Amino acid sequence: MADETWKTAITDIGPGKIRIKGYHITDIMEKLSYAEAVYLILKGEVPSKAEAELMNAILVSSLDHGASPPSVLGTRTVVSGGNSLNAAIAGGVLVIGDTHGGAIEQSAKIMQEWANKGDNMTAVAADLVDWLKESKKRMPGFGHRLHNIDPRTGKLFEIAERHGYKGKHIDLCKAVEKALEDKLGKKLPINVDGAIAAVISDMGFDWRLGKGFFIISRTPGLLAHAYEEMTRERPMRKLGPMPFEYDGPGEREI
Ligand SMILES: CC(C)(COP(=O)(O)OP(=O)(O)OC[C@H]1O[C@@H](n2cnc3c(N)ncnc32)[C@H](O)[C@@H]1OP(=O)(O)O)[C@@H](O)C(=O)NCCC(=O)NCCS
């Protein structure tokens, strides 16, 4: 009979045994913070002090952003429709996409590809913005509908710099902000997704993990909103009461 065993390199379990990446869960519980443990399971090693502080700052940065983000409206709408907590959290997470929270993924992908195209990040950023213009694409991780300066961005870069994490992706990210202004004539601030994308790229994370950082960070916020909706609001209330108007075909018959 063929061997049907498949391999996983994440956690070794057995009766009375739980070892994540080789470390006993009981040691992790006692010695690592949540952010450090998340770093361990994603990267495979215990983070240095610098990496631990950055990981913590990333996970705290996107904890919540008020009641207006699409994922929060998703979570609250699912609750309002009379559904369970797990459905509400899943609903909110499903709303996270390339323009909301999930911009980390595509931003990190672009930065990881372009940061290798040269040593002068100002020149690389100029070429990158030309490419964006030609392909009529927006640069993920830039622009914000509320903030002219996203306070989370500066703080992440400050913590990164304090610990010597001023690598080429952060340099490229800052250069892109300038190039967007020069070439498009628009001030498009680096948003928290763009800053996280640059920092995780300098920390050596694969861009394909990008959306995960936002999901891990935002889930407690979604939980708080789901709970508040359940305990404070009436079921099926008017959520997102923006005026709208029908402009499709008028009444007709087949
Ligand atoms: C976040 C975002 C939706 C906010 O948009 P907004 O402030 O409402 O701005 P609009 O979508 O009305 O765009 C205004 C103009 O700026 C341009 N623009 C906005 N963000 C841009 C970006 N990241 N790259 C290039 N151009 C951008 C738009 O093309 C538009 O140009 P136009 O007036 O010539 O048509 C937008 O900046 C965006 O799509 N960013 C990329 C995705 C992203 O980073 N999302 C995470 C948000 S935290």
pLDDT tens for each residue of 136-158: 999 999 998 888 888 999 999 99
Q: How many domains does the chain have?
A: 1
- The four Cα atoms 50, 52, 57, 60 give a dihedral, to 10 degrees, of 180
| Residue 144 maps to a domain | yes
Q: Which atom of ligand 1 is nearest to the CA of 191?
A: 48
Contact 111, 205 (CB under 8 A): no
What is each CA distance from 12 to 6, 17, 36, 51, 132, in whole angstroms?
A: 13, 7, 19, 25, 45
Q: Pick the residue whose CA is nearest to atom 26 on ligand 1.
A: 138
Residue type at 3 in one-letter notation:
D
Q: Which residues contact 230 (CB under 8 A, 6 or more apart)?
A: 79, 85
Tell how far the Cα of 178 is from the centroid of ligand 1, in angstroms.
15
| Residue 219 maps to a domain | no
| Residue 204 maps to a domain | yes
Tell how far the Cα of 120 is from the centroid of ligand 1, in angstroms.
26
Q: What is the pLDDT of residue 241?
A: 63
Q: Which atom of ligand 1 is nearest to the CA of 194?
A: 44
As a whole number of angstroms, the longest Cα–Cα distance in the chain is 70
| Residue 160 maps to a domain | yes
Domain that holds residue 128: 103-208
| Residue 241 maps to a domain | no
pLDDT for 29-61, tens place per residue?
A: 999 999 999 999 999 999 999 999 999 999 999
Q: Which atom of ligand 1 is nearest to the CA of 101?
A: 46
| Residue 86 maps to a domain | no
Task: Tell me the backbone φ, ψ of residue 101, rounded to 5 degrees.
Answer: 75, -50
> Which pair of tokens denotes residue 215?
């999901």
Tell how far the Cα of 232 is from the centroid of ligand 1, in angstroms.
34
Segments of the chain with pLDDT less than 50? none
| Residue 39 maps to a domain | no
CATH code of the domain covering residue 134: 1.10.230.10
Contact 145, 193 (CB under 8 A): no
| Residue 116 maps to a domain | yes
